[in-house]
Amino acid sequence: MDTNDAIDAFSALAQTTRLDIVRALIKAGPDGLTAGAVAEAVAGRQNTVSNHLSILARAGLIEGERDGRTIHYRANFDTAYRLVAFLLEDCCGGRPEVCAPLLSTLSCLQPENAETCCD
């Protein structure tokens, strides 16, 4: 992830409802939630939540898939992994053991573990 992509992602997350949406979608796991279920999860109005979903999708944090008239949204676990990796890229000045406890708690964000992340 380059700096501009990280800034876009952090900018999208720098709003309470959008952060709540991403957290709800991460909690929902790979199955995701419909747009209506997202609105319920964050106690938001559908038109406002729709705007937030668009911003998060443009930042690459979530993905939407149309199924007839319904759109299912999912967290983009690969982007979440790359964002965390961007933050920790030069962890502790060459002393990765300092970051080991944090890294072990974040192991579920790695793409190969996304299926079991939210069990």
So what's the pLDDT on residue 10?
Answer: 97
Cβ(25)–Cβ(62) under 8 Å?
yes
- Structural domains counted in the chain: 2
In angstroms, rounded to a whole number, what is the distance separating the alpha carbons of residues 79 and 85? 10
Residue with tokens 């999208």: 12
Q: What is the extent of the structural domain holding 47?
A: 3-76
So what's the pLDDT on residue 119?
Answer: 46
What tokens appear for 1 in the block? 């992830």
So what's the pLDDT on residue 97?
Answer: 80
Same domain, 67 and 10: yes
Here the CATH number for the domain that contains residue 64 is 1.10.10.10
So what's the pLDDT on residue 85?
Answer: 83
Q: For the chain, which residues score pLDDT lower than 70? A: 103, 106-119
Sheet of 62-67: strands edge to edge?
A: 33-34, 70-75, 62-67
